């Protein structure tokens, strides 16, 4: 029997910081309001000219180094992103592979907004368990600053740029394998979080540009309520299915959208603050990159050790949601 094991984690955190004080200069807001409503204090912004593939390749490089495998051993690259370098082609995964010096490898993107990394993990697991691939590089890479309307005070302060990556490898040892992943969606909620223009529905036009329709639009309050409900029930279902309690989890790594969402889910599940990884104060919401960036942060802080049981929980545009339970 072949199992999939989560081998390593890496991230790239762009050095440029945009603080809440910087937003006070461009929109009608305050550090106090943003901190109270979201817990966000600052976020990272990629350099001009840098694209998601540049951030993703850097994160991938670190994940490969930490997995102690050679690049030649990677036989699949998956990139989760909704801010691809190019709208249609080539995929960001192809560009990341090329930047890593991999020119003869299967590579494709996964689009599931903030749940993208959990979706990519699920796809990697399926490829490995089927015996088709042995070492998969999964990347969550986002340059949200490219799709934000910096005059829209209801969205622009929430998001940031960055990337995280992991190596998922085949193993015969069940005790070190990914235990379970659940991914789901409901497209009936398409209007809650959307970039309405620039795709085949509303192709790029003067109207799309003038109305900033290629930028993110979000019904924040409705999304907030659904996020708390879905994330909580998703974790409960996962734990019950495997006869586990929150005592069995060493690290809960939720999608980093809003500290109030993380807190509400943690309280509903009776998860202690020590077990919950929080980086939303430092990086804001980096969508598909948020979970691997948070895991990398906890790893570099020395909190995550080999053999720990980790639970991911994500929610995002689509709507999409998903959770993953694994040993590190």
Interface residue list for ligand ACO (CB under 6 A) = 29, 33, 37-38, 113-114, 153-154, 157, 193, 220-221, 223-224, 227, 257-258, 261, 285, 287, 315-317
Q: What are the residues whose beta carbons fall under 8 Å from the beta carbon of 318, sequence distance 6 or more?
A: 112, 113, 115, 185, 186, 187, 189, 190, 193
Separation CA 159–CA 148 (nearest Å): 8
Which two three-digit tokens encode residue 107? 């590579």
Active site (annotated) includes residue 255: yes
The minimum distance between CB 47 and ligand ACO, in angstroms, equals 22
- Which region, left, alpha or beta, applies to residue 162 given φ > 0 means left and ψ of -120 to 50 means alpha? left
Neighbours of 218 (CB within 10 A): 18
* Active-site residue identified among 79, 114, 183, 215: 114
The minimum distance between CB 294 and ligand ACO, in angstroms, equals 14
The minimum distance between CB 46 and ligand ACO, in angstroms, equals 17
Active site (annotated) includes residue 88: no
Q: Which is nearer to ligand ACO, 8 or 115 (CB)?
A: 115
Residues 62 and 165 sit within 8 Å (Cβ to Cβ) = yes
Q: What are the residues whose beta carbons fall under 8 Å from the beta carbon of 180, sequence distance 6 or more?
A: 238, 241, 242, 324, 325
CA angle 246, 2, 113 (to 5 degrees): 55
The minimum distance between CB 280 and ligand ACO, in angstroms, equals 10
The minimum distance between CB 215 and ligand ACO, in angstroms, equals 12
Q: What are the residues whose beta carbons fall under 8 Å from the beta carbon of 179, sequence distance 6 or more?
A: 242, 325, 326, 327
Active site (annotated) includes residue 285: yes
Q: Which is nearer to ligand ACO, 177 or 258 (CB)?
A: 258
Three-state secondary-structure class, residue 198? coil
Q: Which is nearer to ligand ACO, 8 or 323 (CB)?
A: 323
Separation CA 113–CA 2 (nearest Å): 29
* CA-wise closest residue to 218 among 261, 262, 155: 155
The minimum distance between CB 260 and ligand ACO, in angstroms, equals 7
Residues 142 and 216 sit within 8 Å (Cβ to Cβ) = no
Q: Which is nearer to ligand ACO, 6 or 315 (CB)?
A: 315
Q: Which is nearer to ligand ACO, 171 or 290 (CB)?
A: 290
Separation CA 293–CA 304 (nearest Å): 13
Q: Which is nearer to ligand ACO, 177 or 287 (CB)?
A: 287
The minimum distance between CB 209 and ligand ACO, in angstroms, equals 21
At which residue do the structure tokens 């070492």 appear? 135
* Active-site residue identified among 20, 94, 251, 255: 255
Separation CA 182–CA 178 (nearest Å): 12
Strand (E) or helix (H) holding 282: helix 280-283
Catalytic residues, by residue number, are: 114, 255, 285
């Amino acid at each position: 029997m072949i199992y999939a094991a989560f081998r390593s984690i890496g991230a790239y955190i762009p050095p440029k910081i945009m603080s809440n004080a910087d937003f006070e200069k461009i929109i009608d807001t305050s550090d106090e309001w943003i901190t109270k409503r979201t817990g966000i204090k600052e976020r990272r912004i990629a350099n001009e000219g840098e694209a998601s593939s540049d951030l993703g390749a850097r994160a991938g490089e670190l994940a490969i180094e930490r997995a102690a495998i050679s690049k030649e051993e990677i036989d699949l690259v998956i990139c989760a992103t909704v801010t691809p370098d190019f709208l249609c082609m080539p995929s960001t995964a192809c560009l990341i592979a090329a930047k890593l010096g991999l020119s003869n490898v299967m590579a494709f993107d996964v689009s599931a907004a903030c749940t993208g990394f959990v979706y990519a993990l699920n796809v990697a697991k399926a490829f490995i368990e089927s015996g088709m691939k042995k070492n998969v590089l999964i990347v969550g890479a986002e340059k949200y600053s490219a799709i934000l309307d910096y005059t829209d005070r209801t969205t622009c302060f929430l998001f940031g740029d960055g990337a995280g990556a992991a190596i998922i490898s085949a193993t015969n040892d069940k005790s070190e394998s990914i235990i379970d992943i659940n991914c789901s969606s409901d497209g009936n909620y398409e209007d809650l979080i959307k970039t309405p223009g620039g795709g085949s529905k509303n192709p790029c036009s003067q109207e799309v540009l003038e109305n900033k329709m290629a930028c993110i639009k979000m019904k924040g309050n409705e999304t907030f309520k659904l996020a708390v409900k879905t994330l909580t029930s998703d974790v409960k279902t996962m734990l019950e299915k495997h006869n586990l309690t929150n005592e069995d989890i060493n690290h809960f790594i939720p999608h980093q959208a809003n500290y109030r969402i993380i807190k509400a889910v943690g309280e509903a599940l009776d998860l202690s603050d020590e077990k919950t990884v929080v980086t939303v104060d430092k990086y804001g919401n980096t969508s598909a990159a948020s979970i691997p960036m948070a895991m990398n942060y906890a790893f570099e802080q020395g909190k995550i050790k080999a053999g720990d049981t980790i639970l991911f929980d994500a929610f995002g545009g689509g709507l999409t949601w998903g959770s993953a339970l694994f040993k590190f």
